[in-house]
Chains A and B, each alone.
Chain A
Amino acid sequence: GENVEQHPSTLSVQEGDSAVIKCTYSDSASNYFPWYKQELGKRPQLIIDIRSNVGEKKDQRIAVTLNKTAKHFSLHITETQPEDSAVYFCAANKAAGNKLTFGGGTRVLVKP
């Protein structure tokens, strides 16, 4: 089955700096890669996703890049703000499988 590794497990950045989280996956058939944000005590919520027919996707201050050859994808948050503090999870899936496999999460702390 799919295995998703996520690094780093914790990330502390100064407000205004960029944050980068990296994930690798094992199943070359995976072609859907979402990122979820989970605030303390809250439900995970989708913030951005990418499918394997594109290499990069942006949405305001967040962007995701995908390298299918190397089987890794990354989340980039620019101009970080205190409200970006949360745990971020990457995930991978095959389109027909509908079973998301999550990474272990990255706790991001944005210091004002």
Chain B
Amino acid sequence: GAGVSQTPSNKVTEKGKYVELRCDPISGHTALYWYRQSLGQGPEFLIYFQGTGAADDSGLPNDRFFAVRPEGSVSTLKIQRTERGDSAVYLCASSLGGQNTGELFFGEGSRLTVL
């Protein structure tokens, strides 16, 4: 498709379970970002990839969160031992990348609910 695609759109899981969220960026975009958005708040930065490497993972809240982008395209955000506080919308975005920041194209998000 033409836009950023995220799956699943909704995920309900139980506390302690493992979750994977997938992001398929716009073709040709080398930069990929994960943000987390809680209700009524702005997107909170988690991690940024330039190509296959995580250029900045300073926003990951703890070691239960991990993200990969093995071939420089699709990315997976992995959350281990989920907690109720992890409930949020996880937004993925992509951009052309490079030295100058440009427009971020967001996906529709994956809404995670931890019971």
Contact = CB atoms under 8 A, between A and B. Distances in A.
Interface of A: 1, 4, 6, 32, 34, 36, 42-46, 49, 89, 91, 93, 95-105
Contact of B101 (A4, A93, A104): A93
Given A42-B108, A89-B43, A102-B42, A96 B99 contact: yes
A43 B109 contact: yes
B31 A98 contact: yes
A42 B3 CA distance: 13
Interface residues of B, number: 28
A43 B44 contact: no
Nearest to B43: A102
B75 interface: no
Nearest to B106: A43
B31 A46 contact: no
A95 B100 contact: yes
B45 interface: yes
